[in-house]
């Protein structure tokens, strides 16, 4: 087989061509047909196959993730029960609106019970949150270091949550020998909102979000 065999090919008499030439022509024809088939038929199907295979991997991973979550669902449920119990216990430490006056009286009595003299006891304006309100109380008391410390301890032991912030302690008179001190602080206490107040807070938040848009 040489180049002349290909130069002198008679397509009308292919049957008489040498066998090697026939094999070459069949090979070329086969390659051309495969190329055309790939271009017009198989390329799109191969792409769809690749996409389906990728989707299968995504679905398999999603299934494994969901399965892992399902295995842990009982533990999650128990955690939710524990969280609700803890939240309920903390909520009980917050007075409602009707109990605030009694709490303020308890704070006042804690100071008087230690022999302290109140020079200032001024509840401030409430600051609303999602389900509770904060009430700052400015206090200024006079007494000995021991009595002031005992007062702070008594406040921490109240059945309701009360914190003392921005503490400032100083002697009344540097030259005095009676050991009396003044303490200025902000007693922060909290109460939970009733259903109407919670609804009002939610409405106000929704309105604020709409105004931002």
Dig out the tokens for 165 from the structure: 């912030």
Instruction: Identify the residue whose tokens are 């008087």.
Output: 112
Which residues does 47 contact at the CB level (< 8 Å), separation at least 6? none
Asked if the model's pLDDT at residue 40 lies above 70, the reply is no
User: In terms of Cα–Cα distance, which of 120, 124, 157 is closest to 142?
Assistant: 120
Give percent of the chain above pLDDT 90: 20
Residue 173 phi, psi (nearest 5) = -145, 120
Beta-strand ranges (E) seen in the chain are 117-123, 127-128, 132-144, 162-171, 180-192
Three-state SS at 191? strand
How open is the CA angle 156-159-164, to the nearest 5 degrees? 30
Residue 38's pLDDT is what?
65
Dig out the tokens for 1 from the structure: 């087989």
Decide if 118 contacts 108 (C-beta within 8 A): yes
pTM check: above 0.75: no
Decide if 132 contacts 189 (C-beta within 8 A): no
Dig out the tokens for 202 from the structure: 């939610």
How open is the CA angle 65-66-72, to the nearest 5 degrees? 95
Digit-coded pLDDT (tens) for 139-198 = 999 999 999 999 999 998 888 888 899 999 988 876 656 678 999 999 998 887 777 877
Residue 186's pLDDT is what?
94
């Amino acid at each position: 087989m040489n180049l002349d065999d290909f130069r002198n090919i008679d397509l009308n008499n292919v049957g008489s061509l040498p066998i090697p030439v026939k094999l070459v022509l069949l090979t070329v024809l086969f390659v051309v047909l495969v190329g055309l088939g790939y271009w017009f038929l198989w390329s799109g199907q191969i792409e769809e196959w690749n996409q389906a295979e990728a989707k299968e991997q995504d679905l398999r991973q999603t299934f494994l993730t969901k399965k892992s979550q399902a295995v842990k669902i009982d533990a999650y449920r128990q955690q939710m029960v524990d969280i609700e119990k803890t939240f309920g216990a903390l909520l009980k430490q917050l007075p409602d609106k009707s109990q605030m006056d009694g709490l303020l009286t308890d704070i006042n009595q804690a100071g008087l019970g230690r022999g302290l003299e109140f020079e200032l006891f001024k509840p401030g304006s409430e600051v609303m949150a999602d389900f509770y309100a904060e009430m700052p109380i400015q206090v200024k008391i006079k007494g000995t270091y021991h009595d002031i410390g005992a007062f702070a301890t008594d406040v921490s032991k109240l059945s309701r949550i009360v914190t003392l912030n921005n503490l400032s302690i100083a002697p009344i008179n540097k030259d005095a020998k009676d050991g009396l001190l003044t303490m200025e602080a902000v007693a922060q206490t909290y109460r939970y909102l009733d259903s109407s107040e919670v609804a009002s807070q939610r409405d106000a938040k929704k309105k604020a979000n709409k105004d931002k848009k």
